[in-house]
């Protein structure tokens, strides 16, 4: 996932520039680029001995003679079966890896990739060492997965996607293009574009990194899932407009934050979802603010300031490791050794899912139903360069390109808090909380066109269910 951040403080900018000198590949997420079809099929998992707790380090695990092998059939759309006919479910996680839940255990691993020099290759028929544990999280084991060649489909066992060398934009600086802003405002009246001084003179490399990094571009996003009649009937009972910042006069959404120049949008969206859902669950008697720095420094389910995914953080990390409050590890906006105060109490989740049950099962009415019934949720969308200029209104992509600032499409994680429709035009929108500070957009929020999967915003919503902490 990409993370677009903003630099409001000059000091942060210096930190970022220094940081980039060390990170040669400022790529977001892992370089793996595996599609649903790459993953679907028969897999053999080599599973190491169980009996460990969650401190188990799987990073150097390789299946050996002491590991047992189990074969799973990953079927359409989300059914998994083992050799004894037991059933479970599975989902891909964007283009990064997949999770399987069957026989009381969960298995998650990133897809395999290798970096040699400036070339990165993903091997979608293999996984990196992953983590398996029982549903209660008491019994952990490491595993690796290998996909079996199929007899019917001509599967190419080592399908590769090479990531090409791109133009170095470290010394290309962003400069506001007023003609571009004028052109956006002339082309449409639904939203207003404006200049932001916080972007001025920022290296384009940083801006892109803020926007999730150059490898995070959505390549095989699912289309919104077909809407069933039951879902439509349920959605028809919902209010015409809804906003978790004002439910009968009560606000359940935590304050706007600023991720700065670190690709940590996924952590901010994940924390914000859990913060709001705890407020809802406790009728605002508990208002924790969770620590994105704990995620950036300590999570092996994400890539620090280089990106990550709300499914793995707001959901899986919250379930497996729990979230700590901000005071346990204050936000620094840069990578580092895990420095979280381990005596802090943790807020756990009991369950998490892609809305609809698996990646690719999402659509507008399902998002509305889950939003109103369960609370705000983490979503992601494609960022085009006109979005940076959003000042207010209902955003939809202008299709215009800023010729002077070489921008690539990135993928940004944010928090969905409400929906509505414009009084005059009837244009439907989502209300979304961003993590670029209060000066950006509509006091840190934006509205975006609803019902047409604008910028893929209706294709990958994630929700997590926090447990009552005593």
Ligand X SMILES: *[C@@H]1O[C@H](CO)[C@@H](O)[C@H](O)[C@H]1NC(C)=O
Residues that bind ligand X (CB under 6 A): 33, 35, 57, 59-60, 161, 163, 219-220, 283
Q: Answer yes or no: 455 catalytic.
A: no
How far is it, in rounded angstroms, from Cα 376 to Cα 179? 37
Q: Which is nearer to ligand X, 163 or 328 (CB)?
A: 163
Closest of 166, 163, 169, 167 to residue 119, by C-alpha: 163
From the CB of 120, what's the least distance to ligand X, in Å?
Answer: 8
The catalytically annotated residue of 34, 95, 412, 455 is 412
From the CB of 327, what's the least distance to ligand X, in Å?
Answer: 23
Q: Which is nearer to ligand X, 59 or 171 (CB)?
A: 59
For residue 96, what are the CA distances in angstroms to 39, 216, 274? 10, 10, 23
Residues forming a β-bridge with 41? 74
End-to-end CA distance of the chain: 33
Q: Which is nearer to ligand X, 161 or 433 (CB)?
A: 161
For residue 92, what are the CA distances in angstroms to 34, 221, 239, 454? 9, 11, 33, 22
In this structure, are residues 359 and 95 in contact, taking their beta carbons and an 8 Å threshold? no
SS (H, E, C) the chain: CECCCCCCCHHHHHHHHHHHHHCCCCCCCCCCCCCHHHHCEEEEEEECCCCECCCCCCCCCCCCCCCEEEEEEEECCCEEEECCCCEEEEEEECCCEEEEEECCEEEEEEEEEEEECCEEEEEEEEECCEEEEECCCCCEEEEEEEECCCCCCCCCCCCCCECCCCCCCCCCECCCCHHHHHHHHHHCCCEEECCCHHHCCCEHHHHHHHCCCCCCCCCCCCCCCCCCHHHHHHHHCCCCCEECCCECCECCCCCCCECCCCECHHHHHHHHHHHHHHHHHCCCCCCCCECHHHHHHHCCCCCCCECCCHHHHHHHHHHHCCECEHHHCCCCCCCCCCCCCCCCCCECEEEEEECCCCCCCCCHHHHHHHHHHHCCEEEEEEECCCHHHEEEEEECCCCCCCCCCCCCCEEEEEEEEEEEECCCCCCEEEEEECCECCCCCECCEEEEECCCCHHHCCCCCEEEEECCCC
From the CB of 249, what's the least distance to ligand X, in Å?
Answer: 10
From the CB of 283, what's the least distance to ligand X, in Å?
Answer: 4
Q: Answer yes or no: 161 catalytic.
A: no
Q: Which is nearer to ligand X, 220 or 251 (CB)?
A: 220
Closest of 193, 207, 174 to residue 386, by C-alpha: 193
Q: Which is nearer to ligand X, 54 or 195 (CB)?
A: 54
From the CB of 375, what's the least distance to ligand X, in Å?
Answer: 15
Q: Which is nearer to ligand X, 87 or 118 (CB)?
A: 118
From the CB of 287, what's the least distance to ligand X, in Å?
Answer: 12
Q: Which is nearer to ligand X, 29 or 402 (CB)?
A: 29
The catalytically annotated residue of 265, 305, 362, 455 is 265
From the CB of 81, what's the least distance to ligand X, in Å?
Answer: 26
From the CB of 160, what's the least distance to ligand X, in Å?
Answer: 9
From the CB of 226, what's the least distance to ligand X, in Å?
Answer: 23
How far is it, in rounded angstroms, from Cα 43 to Cα 344? 39
In the structure encoding, which two tokens stand for residue 396, read together? 């939809």
Q: Answer yes or no: 412 catalytic.
A: yes
The catalytically annotated residue of 215, 370, 411, 434 is 434
Q: Which is nearer to ligand X, 35 or 251 (CB)?
A: 35
Q: Which is nearer to ligand X, 328 or 367 (CB)?
A: 328
Residues designated as active site: 265, 412, 434
């Amino acid at each position: 996932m990409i993370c677009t951040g903003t630099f409001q403080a000059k000091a942060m900018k210096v930190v970022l520039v220094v940081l980039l000198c060390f990170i040669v590949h400022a790529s977001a997420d892992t370089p793996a680029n595996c599609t649903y079809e790459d993953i679907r099929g028969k897999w053999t998992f080599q599973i190491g001995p169980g009996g460990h707790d969650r401190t188990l380090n799987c990073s150097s695990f390789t299946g050996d003679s002491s590991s047992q092998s189990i074969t799973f059939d990953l079927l359409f759309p989300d059914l998994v079966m083992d050799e004894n006919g037991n059933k479970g479910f599975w989902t891909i996680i964007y283009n990064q890896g997949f999770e399987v839940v069957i026989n009381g255990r969960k298995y998650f691993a990133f897809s395999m990739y290798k970096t040699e020099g400036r070339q990165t290759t993903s091997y979608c028929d293999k996984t990196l060492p992953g983590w398996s544990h029982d549903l209660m999280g008491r019994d952990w084991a490491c595993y690796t997965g290998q996909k079996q060649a199929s007899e019917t489909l001509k599967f190419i066992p080592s399908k590769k996607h090479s990531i090409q060398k791109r133009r170095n934009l470290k010394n290309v600086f962003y400069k506001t293009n007023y003609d571009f802003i004028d052109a956006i405002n002339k082309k449409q009246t639904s939203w207003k574009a404006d200049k932001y001084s916080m972007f001025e003179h920022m290296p384009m490399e940083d801006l892109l990194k803020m926007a999730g990094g150059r490898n995070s571009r959505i390549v095989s996003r699912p289309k919104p899932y077909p809407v069933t009649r039951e879902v439509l009937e349920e959605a028809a009972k919902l209010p015409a407009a809804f906003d978790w910042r004002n439910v009968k006069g009560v606000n359940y959404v935590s304050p706007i934050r600023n991720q700065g120049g670190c690709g940590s949008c996924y952590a901010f969206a994940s924390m914000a979802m859990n913060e709001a859902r705890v407020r809802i669950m406790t009728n605002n008697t508990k208002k924790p603010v969770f620590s994105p720095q704990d995620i950036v420094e300590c999570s092996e389910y994400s890539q620090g300031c280089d990106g990550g995914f709300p499914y793995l953080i707001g959901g899986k990390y919250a379930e497996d490791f729990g979230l700590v409050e901000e005071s346990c590890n204050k936000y620094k906006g840069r990578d580092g050794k895990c420095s979280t105060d381990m005596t802090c109490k943790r807020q756990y989740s009991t369950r998490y899912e892609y809305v609809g049950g698996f990646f690719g099962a999402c659509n507008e009415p399902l998002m509305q139903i889950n939003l109103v019934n369960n609370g705000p949720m983490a979503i992601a969308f494609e960022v085009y360069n006109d979005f940076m200029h959003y000042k207010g209104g209902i955003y939809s992509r202008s299709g215009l390109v800023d010729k002077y600032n070489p921008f690539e499409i990135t993928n940004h994680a944010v928090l969905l808090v409400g929906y509505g429709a414009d009084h005059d035009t009837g244009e439907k929108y989502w209300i979304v909380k961003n993590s670029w500070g209060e000066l950006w957009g509509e006091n840190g929020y934006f509205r975006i066109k609803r019902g047409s999967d604008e910028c893929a915003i209706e294709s990958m919503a994630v929700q997590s269910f926090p447990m009552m902490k005593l």
